[in-house]
């Protein structure tokens, strides 16, 4: 492990991002300070998900210098990846809840998979996190009994179970109506205000407008900052479908 001074941050320098063998983003450069909220925007297929998968060590890094939560992604060993992922919570657009078990069992499954074995401690942790996302009365329900917004709150709870330093959210409002999306963003903003780094991929311009933050843009195989060299805000409507 190659620890940085700030183990919460993300640093990507001169790194190419691949999906399978296809280059999707070239010479990517950006850094995220611990505790920042950053948007990653771009049209569908522009490389947002591939970048997040790379930062989560699902896709390999072949060149440059990429470090997440203190781990150098070019040098990370397979046995170290679970430890990296304990520092990262991932929120998906399509929820990825296990449909054959209750919400409680879904969350318990994650804790057991990451080394928890004390039933009482697991119960206390699950109840605490679910209460924080406003879903304490839903633990006995099955995923199909929840609305999209309710399922997304559970997915956020799942991402928070191991108290990660960083949250990667990949289009977390993509399948939600606008009002529900606003409620989910308010939840992310609260999580961020408590000190967690949030990198959120989206192509929802209304969300970005209503909750402005530093923005990175995937466009034409490159990653660019949302501000022009002169410091004036870039009109990024053309980059969001």
Walking along the chain (241 residues) 10 residues at a time, the average pLDDT comes out as 53 94 95 95 91 95 94 94 91 88 96 91 96 94 95 94 94 88 93 95 89 94 73 52 52
Q: What is the pLDDT of residue 73?
A: 96
| Rounded-to-10 torsion of CA 71, 167, 226, 181 | 170
Q: What is the pLDDT of residue 4?
A: 41
Distance between CA 78 and CA 76 in Å, rounded?
7
- Bridge-based pairing of strands 214-219 and 37-41 is parallel
Q: What is the pTM of this model?
A: 0.87
Q: What is the pLDDT of residue 240?
A: 56
- Asked if 163 and 133 count as a contact pair (C-beta separation under 8 A), the reply is no
| Of residues 85, 110, 112, 111, the one with CA closest to residue 98 | 110
Distance between CA 28 and CA 170 in Å, rounded?
18
- Asked if 34 and 9 count as a contact pair (C-beta separation under 8 A), the reply is yes
Element (H, E) at 83: helix 81-86
Phi, psi of 226 (to 5 degrees): -80, -10
Distance between CA 100 and CA 170 in Å, rounded?
24
Q: What is the pLDDT of residue 48?
A: 94
């Amino acid at each position: 492990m190659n620890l940085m001074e700030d183990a919460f941050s993300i640093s990507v320098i001169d790194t190419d991002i691949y999906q399978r063998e296809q280059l999707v983003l070239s010479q990517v450069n950006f850094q995220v300070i611990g505790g920042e909220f950053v948007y990653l925007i771009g049209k569908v297929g522009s490389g947002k998900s591939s970048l997040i998968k790379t930062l989560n060590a699902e896709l390999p890094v072949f060149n440059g210098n990429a470090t997440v939560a203190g781990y150098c992604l070019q040098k990370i060993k397979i046995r170290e990846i679970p430890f990296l992922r304990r520092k990262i919570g991932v929120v998906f657009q399509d929820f990825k809840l296990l449909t054959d078990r209750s919400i409680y069992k879904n969350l318990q499954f994650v804790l057991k998979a990451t080394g928890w074995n004390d039933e009482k401690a697991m119960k206390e942790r699950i109840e605490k996190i679910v209460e924080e996302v406003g879903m304490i009365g839903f633990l006995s329900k099955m995923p199909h009994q929840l609305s999209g917004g309710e399922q997304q709150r559970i997915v956020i709870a799942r991402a928070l179970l191991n108290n990660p330093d960083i949250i990667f959210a990949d289009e977390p409002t993509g399948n939600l109506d606008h009002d529900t999306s606003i409620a989910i963003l308010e939840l992310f903003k609260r999580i961020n205000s408590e000190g967690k780094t949030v990198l959120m991929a989206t192509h929802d311009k209304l969300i970005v407008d209503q909750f402005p933050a530093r923005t990175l843009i995937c466009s034409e195989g490159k990653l660019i900052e949302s501000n022009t060299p002169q410091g004036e805000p870039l009109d990024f409507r053309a980059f969001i479908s």
